[in-house]
Amino acid sequence: MGARGIAVLGSTGSIGRTTLEVVSAFPDRFKIVALTAHRSADVLLEQARRHHPELAVLVDGELQPLGPLKGTRVATGWDAVLEAASHPDVEIVVNALVGAAGLEPTLQALAAGKRLALANKESLVVGGPLVMRALRENAGELIPVDSEHSAVFQCLAGASLESVRRLVLTASGGPFRDRDPLDLAGVTPDEALRHPTWNMGAKITVDSATLVNKALEVVEAHYLFGIAYEQVEVVIHPQSIVHSLVEFRDGSVLAQLGRPTMALPVLYALTYPERLPFDAPSLDLTEVGTLSFEPVPPGRFPAFELGREAALRGGTAPAVFNAASEEAVAAFLTEQLAFNEIPDVIRDVMGGHAVEDPTHLEVVRRADAWARVAARSGVQQRAGKTKRLA
C-alpha cells in the first residue's frame, strides 16, 4: 500500500503543527498533499519547503504573498481551502481550523468521500445536522481528533449505542478553577493563556478557562455518538490524564488514559483501525500519583451553563452560542472586554435570537452572522459604559 495523501487545513496552528510532526514519523505511510493557513505566511512557507505539498493555500495571500515554491502550486482565498478539502490525491483531511469557518470544509471533505480527521469541533456545534447528513449520504468517514472524543471513540470500540448508559467528558477546569469568581474581572489575556496541562491555541485555551470548550464538546459528543444530552456528563479532572469515560448499562466503565498530548489522538485518527508504534513517553501512574475528579460547581462557569442551555434549545442556538463566544473571546484577547464579561455577551446574544431549524448551510450562515454583529455591538456597549464610568 502506498503512502496516503493528507490535507492539513490550518497547518500553522497547534493541531496542524502536531499533525505534521506525526506524519513526519511515518514517511512510508503518509504524504502531505495540501496545506492551508489563514495568514501565517512565513510558517506556511517553511512547512511547504519541508513537506513539498502539491498545493499550499494562504487565505489572506493577497496581503502577504507566499512566493513561488518549486513543485507546489500556491493559491489564495477561501475557495482554495475547499479545493484542498476535496483534492483528488487526498485520502485524509485533517480539519484543524479554528471556529465556525471549519464547517464548510468539513462538508466538502465528506461530500468528496474523504476520511475526515476532525479537530474542528465547531463544525458539529454549528452544523451538526448538516454534517451528519453529509456523512450518511456520502462515502466519507469521520474520526474525532479532540482528545475527549477520541477517547470515547476508542472506549466504544464497536459497542452498540443501546449498551451505553452515559459518557463522561473530563475537563481540567482551566487556570482559574480555584480562583475566587469575584477576582476574575481583572484577569489578563496572558493569565488566561497559561493552561495548567495543555499546550493549545489562544481561542481554545480561553475557552478552557471559561469551560465554553467543554460545552462545545458536549454538543460534539451528542452528534458524533448519537447520544442524548442527558447522557453526557462533565467532570473536573485537573491532571488531564483520563480523557473520557464510558459507562455501559451493565455498570462497567471503560476509560482512556494518556499524557496530555494531541499527538496520540491525531495518530489514531490517521491510522484507525491500526495502532502504529510511536515514540511517545509511557504513562507511569506511580509517577502521576493522584487522579482526582469533582463535579462542575453550579454557577462557577456560567458560559458552560449557557452552552448546555443552547444545546438543549437546539436548532441554530448552538451556532449562535458559538459565534457569540468567538467574538467575546476575540474582544477579551484584544483587551476590549473583561474576562468575566464573556458570558454576559453570550447571554445577551442568545436572549435575542429566534431559533431556526438548520436545514441548509445558508440558515447556519445567517444565524452565525447575526450573532457576530450582536456580540460586537454588545462588546462596544460595554466598552462605552466602562469609559463613561472611568
What 3-state class would DSSP assign to 390?
Answer: coil
Look up residue 123 and give its DSSP letter.
H
Number of domains in the chain: 1
Q: Tell me, what's the pLDDT at 324?
A: 98
Residue 207 lies in a domain: no
Q: Quick check: is 139 in a domain?
A: yes
pLDDT value of residue 388: 44
Q: Which residue has the cell 444545546?
A: 311
In a domain, 109, yes or no: yes
Mean pLDDT by 10 residues, the chain (390 residues): 94 97 98 96 94 95 68 94 98 97 98 98 98 97 98 95 98 84 82 70 87 97 98 97 98 97 97 95 95 95 97 98 97 95 98 97 98 98 64
Structural domain contains residue 24: yes
Residue 209, domain member (yes or no): no
Question: Which CATH number covers residue 34?
Answer: 3.40.50.720
Q: Is the peptide bond before 273 cis (omega within 30 degrees of 0)?
A: yes
Write the single-letter amino acid at 88. P
Show the domain range for 41: 4-144
Non-local (6+) Cβ contacts of 250 within 8 A are 163
In a domain, 256, yes or no: no
Q: How far apart are CA 77 and CA 81, in angstroms?
A: 7
Calculate the CA dihedral of residues 257, 261, 267, 269 and round it to 10 degrees: 70
CB 378 within 8 A of CB 325: no
Exposed/middle/buried for 33, CB within 10 Å: 0-12, 13-18, 19+? buried
Contact between 123 and 106 under an 8 Å Cβ cutoff? The reply is: yes
pLDDT of residue 64: 60
